[in-house]
Amino acid sequence: MSINAIELLAESRISAHRSYLKTLTPDIWSPKECLLVEDSEPSIHGLISLCEGRSNNPSPGSEPYTQVIAEPGYVPYTSGKVSTTTVGDEMCRLAVEAVFSKDLQQLLSAGPLATAAILAAATVAVGKTKAGKWIPEVGVLIPKKGNEVLALWQEYRKWASGKMEHAAPMMIRDFFGSALAWQFIRINDGRIHDLGGAIMCITTGSDFVGSADDPGLGDMEIYLSAMNEGLACLGGSAVTPAIRDAVLCAAFMQTRKAVTAVTMKRDIEELKRLLANNNGPVTPGEFMTMRWWEAAMVGYHRIGLGADGYRHLADDTGVFTATRKCGKIRRAVDNLIRYDEAVDIIFDATQGDGLNEALVAMSAAGSKGIAGYAHALAAVTDEVFHCDCGEEGHIDVGEMSMASCLWYAIIPRYLIRAQLDGLEKGSPAIQNAFAPAKPGERNVIAQTLPGEQLHTDSWDPLWTVTGTDISGLVSRTLKRVLLEDVYSEEIYHRCNDIATDVLTDCMSMEYDKPQLLPLSEKWCRLFDEALINFREDFSGPIAALRELVGRIWIHLIIGDNGENGDTHARIFVDMDRHFRSTYSLPALAGRAIRRAYLGTVSSSMEFSGFNPYHCLVEGVTRIC
């Protein structure tokens, strides 16, 4: 079926699809309710049968729901290449056949999520005619997204013995494995992060290969090599549906890209009529249901939530049941998407892609739709820590949300500091728009209003922005940094004093980089003090991460124009390998170190007044 025919098929059903999504509110965890798959779909059925039929796969419902069933050969940052297996080869073959199955593509293109993608693209295309006049001037100032393989090669060549064909699968497997390792800090078995990340490589292969922002790793075979051991070595009743959902996500990416591309090429007046005749722009609920599946959220979370450390939060298929009941938990889980939207807002605007919540909000509601967006993401983290609704999982998702903040700022794909450095070279108006707040204007927080999304159906924000005093920022910082039940009152008070000291300086100093860079040591002191009870026995891992607290402040948050020789790629690789090394420590010590690190770095980003996410999004509000 041609792309035009696919789009017309979906367009003819817009009214029915919108009614389905609004009235029946399909379970976001269910591919069947989201009309992504039918029981009889042969390519998916064959893959599931092979997953369930593996000789070492545990019986349905066996605990934990995610578990290692065969020892992987690859060890991140140690092995010289990824390993593959015969079982993995066969499962990879079936996975790729399913992703590119014409029958599955036709099913997906005729479903409500394809309709949501069309509406999102139309909303952005129409909205940018009014709110996007800034895009050409700003877009040329930031680096081109993609081809990050060149920067990563400088770090990986020592492990890969100088062979790019070995390094490329390692890079993409570690890319996705790092997300799981940083987010799911209560899984003690680091192999699960690695193998879970391997499974998800099918989604990045579908998304990246041949795209405008292709990272330059190579063709689909590279991604299948990275995926192989995940399919062969990870099992359990949460893993089989996770593999199915990863494949469905990869297939839906193909559909979404096709309908988005065609929609963006259509005449603006035609798109205005499309929206006017079908109840207006895409809604936040429609958009996020579609985005969950396009962003691989379902399969990804099933893997982590099925493992020891989290399975008490999930059913035996890895569904996080509290996301259906607590809006604060749901929002915190969604921050894994929303930090992506913040860091990608200019990239996505430049490339004309409507798949970005912040860009959709700007297109539909103007600057008011995104003013304070980054503050709202920080508030989501802090509010979930304090929610007392009775559901389980608030602390866990607060940790996940902090990790999301770090991940998108640090991985070399999104180049958050390089974007801001480029914008500093623009016209005076652009420089002022994207600059951090002045002293006296930095002690700002958001408070979210009740709901599951962050916007009303008309894309008005469900948050307010207000000033706060230093003590308010300090209390949020300490909640993030200190693992529950492992610190004394004395440690709390000393951390309180250090946090007060550094945040007072952050609020009062002019935006003068030579003055601000030395504050890195004060953030390091906070990290030190939080872990004082562990420093004697675990000095090595703590020292390695302490150094990174300072490097992130210097290179990514304030920016030293590369004078210290650091790069996004080097910081990412160093952080990932040192962070993952903590999984070899005793469980409590490792967890306390990881929590202190996530809390310290996320606080230095989001409470210092120099939040790079806020600079990017707020800059757009000032010029749109």
With a cut of 60, say whether residue 339 has pLDDT above it: yes
With a cut of 70, say whether residue 11 has pLDDT above it: no
- Model pLDDT for residues 267-322, shown as the tens digit of each residue: 999 999 999 999 999 999 999 999 999 999 999 999 999 999 999 999 999 999 99
- Model pLDDT for residues 513-545, shown as the tens digit of each residue: 999 999 999 999 999 999 999 999 999 999 999
Cα(203)–Cα(12) distance, integer angstroms: 28
Instruction: Burial-class residue 511 by CB neighbours within 10 Å (0-12, 13-18, 19+).
Output: middle
- The per-residue DSSP string of 83-142 comes to ---HHHHHHHHHHHHHHT-HHHHHHHHTSHHHHHHHHHHHHHHHHHHHH-TTHHHHHTTS
Neighbours of 607 (CB within 10 A): 28
- Model pLDDT for residues 140-176, shown as the tens digit of each residue: 999 999 999 999 999 999 999 999 999 999 999 999 9
Cα(415)–Cα(400) distance, integer angstroms: 21
Q: Where are the alpha helices (DSSP H) in 447-516?
A: 470-481, 489-508, 513-516
- Model pLDDT for residues 357-385, shown as the tens digit of each residue: 999 999 999 999 999 999 999 999 999 99
- Model pLDDT for residues 55-76, shown as the tens digit of each residue: 899 988 899 999 999 999 999 9
Instruction: Burial-class residue 472 by CB neighbours within 10 Å (0-12, 13-18, 19+).
Output: middle
Cα(587)–Cα(173) distance, integer angstroms: 25
Neighbours of 351 (CB within 10 A): 17
Cα(75)–Cα(69) distance, integer angstroms: 16
Predicted local distance difference test score (pLDDT) of residue 6: 44
Global pTM reads 0.96
**Cα–Cα nearest to 265, from 116, 110, 122:** 122
Residue boundaries of the structural domains of the chain:
1-129+146-319, 325-624
Structure token digits, residue 399 = 């940790």
